Amino acid sequence: MEAVTVYHGKISRETGEKLLLATGLDGSYLLRDSESVPGVYCLCVFVHIPFQHYELAHRDEASRYQGYIYTYRVSQTETGSWSAETAPGVHKRFFRKIKNLISAFQKPDQGIVIPLQYPVEKSSARSTQGTTRRSDSDVCLKAP
């Protein structure tokens, strides 16, 4: 898993969300360890949501960072195949490699809210943490 550049390891849900919100780009994504289910991963995807759908706790540059993070559980079977829990009614697919799963979800109509478009790589996230466009406390979003 370490060879997957979007894998951030054991970061919190909140940290992952902050990294994705900082991009401001629909389809930004990363992969992290699940906090609640050992051995399972979370594929997290950012989708921009118009301003009127959120109550903002902080207003500084808020309109540039509004959005919602969708999280999909990704797991490996006993035989080594990878799969993701997607929208209800979507046929579950299995992949030999996690990179193949990610490639499949870069296409539309795969059972996730938006195709994966902009990888948030672990190395780039580390190098930009000190120079992000906003501080971590600038925006607090609440779903409608």
Nearest to 110 by CA among 43, 24, 49: 43
Percentage of the chain exceeding pLDDT 70: 73
DSSP 82: E
Residue 7 bridge partners (DSSP): 31
Contact between 76 and 107 (Cβ < 8 Å): no
| Greatest extent of the chain over all pairs of C-alpha atoms, in Å | 49
Contacts of 23 (CB under 8 A, 6+ apart): 46, 118, 120
Q: Which domains does the chain have, with CATH numbers?
A: 7-50+62-119 (3.30.505.10)
Contacts of 66 (CB under 8 A, 6+ apart): 48, 49, 50, 51, 53, 54, 56, 139, 141
Tens digits of residue pLDDT in 54-95: 444 444 444 445 789 999 999 999 999 999 999 888 999 999
Backbone dihedral angles phi then psi of residue 16, each to the nearest 5 degrees: -60, -45
Three-class SS state of 129: helix
Report pTM: 0.76
Give residue 119's pLDDT band: very low, low, confident or very high (50, 70, 90): very high
Give residue 38's pLDDT band: very low, low, confident or very high (50, 70, 90): very high
Contacts of 115 (CB under 8 A, 6+ apart): 27, 105, 106, 107, 108
Backbone dihedral angles phi then psi of residue 124, each to the nearest 5 degrees: -75, -30
